[in-house]
Chains A and B, each alone.
Chain A
């Protein structure tokens, strides 16, 4: 009983740790039906039908995996769901397809050159599916014993006794393993497998010999035979690693520990060539399979002319992933030159891309999005308050309106109400300025601030 309670506490703790609400955590996919037609409101996506439809076509292309090195540009005003579409695409692709997300400014680092950063990003987006033998432990649980220190803090000590029809072995358990055994509610009589490399626990069912313990069984309990032979077995598993991971493992100066510390530095091009040759060899022998993934570069206008010309070349490689870029710029200066170009991207690269435009949301769509966000942020909002918020979103910006959701819900909680009403929204609207009102305010009180300069000159953002 005590252990069951402990397991419950553990579970709650896990969940609260994981669930922080990000700007796009309400998105679960592209919201398309089987014939790639976008549903109006689905999987957290609202409106933007043309763009989603277009992305759906791109999704099919990626899933086929035949076409390498295409580029897609998502272009649209700020707050029109470009990043949301990219996230939806990542979700729709699933876990097995590598999806690398980066911002254009991430490549500027003192520790590695821009092209190295881009190359690493590209190679992170190509997966290699290989078969590998891993050791698994498969057996029936005889006893699981966890000792907690009397003070309540400090490391737990655990022992797990497993058996097969032929043998029995006692294992020592680490803290993490104890926690996951608790979470899986493993108890004596269960047949489990443990992957030694990853520590993943899989409950196969209950042993037939325990079929008479009625108290512990539910209707959906599956009964399985106690495994035979040795407890430790070698099993072939298929898993996906990215080319970058293979690079790092094989670059002699770092070794695979660099993967965990994150400090990979530059990787020699000879190493990469070797890896490419080896992967090609595996592919011919049928040992490995290439899984081309997606590289998403947000704020792509922050790349400079060198990066663009490098990308031009890199896209021609047959191992290149599908590159999706997003920008909110119009005709602007290409970084690193004095020339202007649409989206701040040189024409020759633009020529290689297919461009998906996103358009500003309509009032109805804004309302829908705000409703979804309210749900995501766990905030109940009255209908009229939502209408007001939609108005605000229409006149200022969607992002500003989303900011007001949680703040308004905090205000409503202060007056011990569970629902956000108009007054709360009005209050936070007056408490927090949006961008327009803020600049209005600055214009009016310009001379009272420090370093105020020419009033008319537009700020240079590029």
Chain B
């Protein structure tokens, strides 16, 4: 999918916007029936959250899958029902965007900086390895996938502090361009100030 296809998808979607808590929140109902929510910071116009509404194969609601931003505070799932879950001090990934880069933060990684190896892989993912064989993760890059790009090694950099590994990927010009166009599109939307707004869901 090229960058035009994504732009067309955004343009064709039914959009509902509201300004709340200093954020411009936009709900998209895409033409293929999927639902997405984006939240932009009012002052900086940086995307702080993007989430997709997930549906199971049989049409049941599964919940929201957060692509960018802090994950929804999960209610403690009952261990007696699920049977198994990752220990609470296991590493987990969150994603953020800045004006110029994509960012991943992997928390709960106590190992020193020199054990981490971060590479761009041919299958369109960024792979995090540790030389002590304690952590391994393939990170999808949906932003690049949507415009048909593959991650490039020279744009990747990472730092480590406070038990957190921060991976930064400098946005390619094509992506910056697309984001500007999408933002323009959204700025033209009339957004409601407050109150109960009903978003179309089907």
Chain A: which residue is nearest B88 at the CB level?
A172
Number of residues from B at the complex interface, CB < 8 A: 27
Kindly supply a per-residue 1/0 record for chain A positions 183-211, scoring 1 wherever the CB is within 8 Å of any chain B CB and 0 otherwise: 00000000000101001000000000000
Q: B6 to chain A: which residues have CB within 8 Å?
A: none
Q: State whether A167 touches B81 (Cβ < 8 A).
A: no
A174-B82, A196-B84 as given contacts; A167 in contact with B58, CB under 8 Å = no
Q: State whether A170 touches B59 (Cβ < 8 A).
A: no
Which of B83, B86, B129, B134 touches A199 (beta carbons < 8 Å)? Answer: B83
Kindly state the separation between the CA atoms of A166 and B89 in the bound complex, as whole angstroms: 18
- The answer to whether the Cβ of A159 comes within 8 Å of any Cβ in the partner chain is yes
- The answer to whether the Cβ of A54 comes within 8 Å of any Cβ in the partner chain is no
Q: State whether B87 touches A166 (Cβ < 8 A).
A: no
Q: State whether B136 touches A229 (Cβ < 8 A).
A: yes
Chain A: which residue is nearest B60 at the CB level?
A249
Number of residues from A at the complex interface, CB < 8 A: 33
Q: State whether B60 touches A255 (Cβ < 8 A).
A: yes
Q: State whether B80 touches A199 (Cβ < 8 A).
A: no
- The answer to whether the Cβ of B197 comes within 8 Å of any Cβ in the partner chain is no
Q: B137 to chain A: which residues have CB within 8 Å?
A: 167, 230
A168-B134, A230-B138 as given contacts; A249 in contact with B86, CB under 8 Å = no
Kindly supply a per-residue 1/0 record for chain B positions 72-87, scoring 1 wherever the CB is within 8 Å of any chain A CB and 0 otherwise: 0000001111111111
Q: State whether A171 touches B80 (Cβ < 8 A).
A: no
- The answer to whether the Cβ of B8 comes within 8 Å of any Cβ in the partner chain is no
Kindly state the separation between the CA atoms of A245 and B88 in the bound complex, as whole angstroms: 34
- The answer to whether the Cβ of B190 comes within 8 Å of any Cβ in the partner chain is no
Chain A: which residue is nearest B85 at the CB level?
A172
6 contacts between A and B (CB under 8 A): A166-B133, A167-B130, A168-B135, A172-B87, A229-B138, A241-B58
Residues on B lying within 8 angstroms of A by beta carbon are 56-61, 78-90, 129-130, 133-138
Residues on A lying within 8 angstroms of B by beta carbon are 130, 132, 137, 159-160, 163-177, 194, 196, 199, 229-230, 241, 245-246, 249-250, 255-256, 278
Name the 7 nearest CB pairs between A and B, nearest first: A166-B136, A177-B83, A167-B136, A199-B83, A174-B79, A170-B87, A174-B83
